[in-house]
């Protein structure tokens, strides 16, 4: 909305209120999120910690507009997702949000450079601008010399670097990563998290990263913990006076 951008700057990048999402109905229903509320400030790297089945993927899919909640509100970059129709959600996902999946999800027949360029093709970016941005992103993630290789010719860590570069192609405001280190060994996983840390600083992006790897939490500005569909903030609990 015109004249709204100034007010938008002061708002959190993500605001989630009393979010609920169940799968199935009746006694067999699984309550994946049972009233989740939190905020992510602009420029923050927030880790979303939780055991397998705690609701991390469900939450990221909702924040990214890939799924619709049963109850509660989600604001991304000042927009209430409930106010967006199919088209609006598509535009949000394409232009404002970058996704990184545990399984990399690269297109096997495309080179690293072509994979990174896909989101820019989808929004019909100028080809010269696209090629320059792809080159810059590949060099940022340390893959300048691997631009012409296909995913099968790259290691797991390198494939995930391509996926991160691809997620950043359209200069998203928000980066959502679902266990991006889940298929990597500990050392490569650590390097990946350090790359995300550098990207959040360098590109001025906000990131919400799901992980069950406790080793990586120290690289986050803040940790949110999901337990059975309910959120707790361990860092806030530490700051609170005891006794």
Ligand X SMILES: Nc1ncnc2c1ncn2[C@@H]1O[C@H](COP(=O)(O)OP(=O)(O)O)[C@@H](O)[C@H]1O
Of the ranges 45-53, 81-89, 135-143, 183-191, which one interacts with ligand X (CB under 6 A)? 45-53
How many Cβ atoms are within 10 Å of 186's Cβ, its own excluded?
A: 11
> Under the criterion CB under 6 A, does residue 50 sit at the interface with ligand X?
yes
3-state secondary structure (DSSP) of residue 174:
strand
Do 59 and 229 contact (CB within 8 A), yes or no? Answer: no
Of the ranges 43-51, 55-63, 106-114, 120-128, which one interacts with Mg ion (CB under 5 A)? 55-63
- Phi and psi at residue 231, to the nearest 5°: -100, 145
Binding residues among 55-114 for ligand X as defined by CB under 6 A: 55-58
Of ligand X, Mg ion, none, which one does residue 102 interact with (CB within 5 to 8 Å by kind)? none
Shortest distance, CB of residue 178 to ligand X, whole angstroms?
A: 7
Shortest distance, CB of residue 243 to Mg ion, whole angstroms?
A: 37
Question: What is the 8-class DSSP label of residue 240?
Answer: S
Shortest distance, CB of residue 229 to ligand X, whole angstroms?
A: 7
Q: Distance between CA atoms of 130 and 122, rounded to whole angstroms?
A: 11
Shortest distance, CB of residue 82 to ligand X, whole angstroms?
A: 20
Q: Distance between CA atoms of 211 and 198, rounded to whole angstroms?
A: 18
3-state secondary structure (DSSP) of residue 221:
coil
Of Mg ion, ligand X, none, which one does residue 23 interact with (CB within 5 to 8 Å by kind)? ligand X
The interface mask with ligand X, positions 7-26, x = CB under 6 A, is ----------------x---
Select 58 or 115, whichever has its Cβ closest to ligand X. 58
> Under the criterion CB under 5 A, does residue 54 sit at the interface with Mg ion?
no
- For Mg ion, the binding residue among 54, 57, 79, 170 (CB under 5 A) is 57
Shortest distance, CB of residue 239 to ligand X, whole angstroms?
A: 25
Closest listed residue to residue 66, CA positions, set 37, 43, 97: 97
Q: Distance between CA atoms of 14 and 32, rounded to whole angstroms?
A: 20
Q: Distance between CA atoms of 161 and 194, rounded to whole angstroms?
A: 11
- Which parts of this chain interact with Mg ion (CB under 5 A)? 56-57
């Amino acid at each position: 909305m015109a004249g709204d951008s100034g007010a938008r700057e002061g708002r959190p990048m993500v605001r989630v209120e009393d979010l609920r999402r169940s799968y199935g109905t009746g006694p067999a229903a699984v309550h994946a999120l049972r009233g989740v509320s939190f905020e992510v400030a602009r420029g923050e790297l927030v880790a979303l910690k939780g055991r397998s089945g705690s609701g991390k993927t469900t939450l990221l899919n909702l924040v990214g507009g890939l799924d619709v909640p049963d109850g509660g509100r989600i604001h991304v970059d000042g927009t209430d997702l409930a106010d967006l129709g199919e088209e609006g959600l598509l535009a949000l996902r394409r232009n404002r949000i970058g996704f990184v999946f545990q399984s990399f999800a690269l297109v096997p027949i495309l080179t690293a450079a072509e994979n990174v360029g896909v989101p820019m093709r989808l929004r019909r970016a100028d080809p010269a601008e696209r090629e320059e941005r792809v080159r810059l992103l590949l060099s940022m993630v340390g893959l300048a010399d691997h631009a012409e290789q296909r995913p099968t010719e790259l290691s797991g860590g390198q494939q995930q670097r391509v996926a991160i570069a691809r997620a950043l192609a359209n200069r998203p405001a928000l980066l959502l990563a679902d266990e991006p280190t889940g298929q990597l060994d500990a050392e490569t996983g650590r390097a990946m998290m350090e790359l995300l840390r550098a990207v959040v600083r360098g590109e001025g992006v906000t990131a919400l990263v799901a992980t069950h790897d406790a080793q990586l939490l120290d690289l986050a500005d803040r940790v949110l913990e999901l337990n059975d569909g309910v959120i707790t903030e361990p860092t806030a609990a530490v700051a609170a006076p005891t006794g």
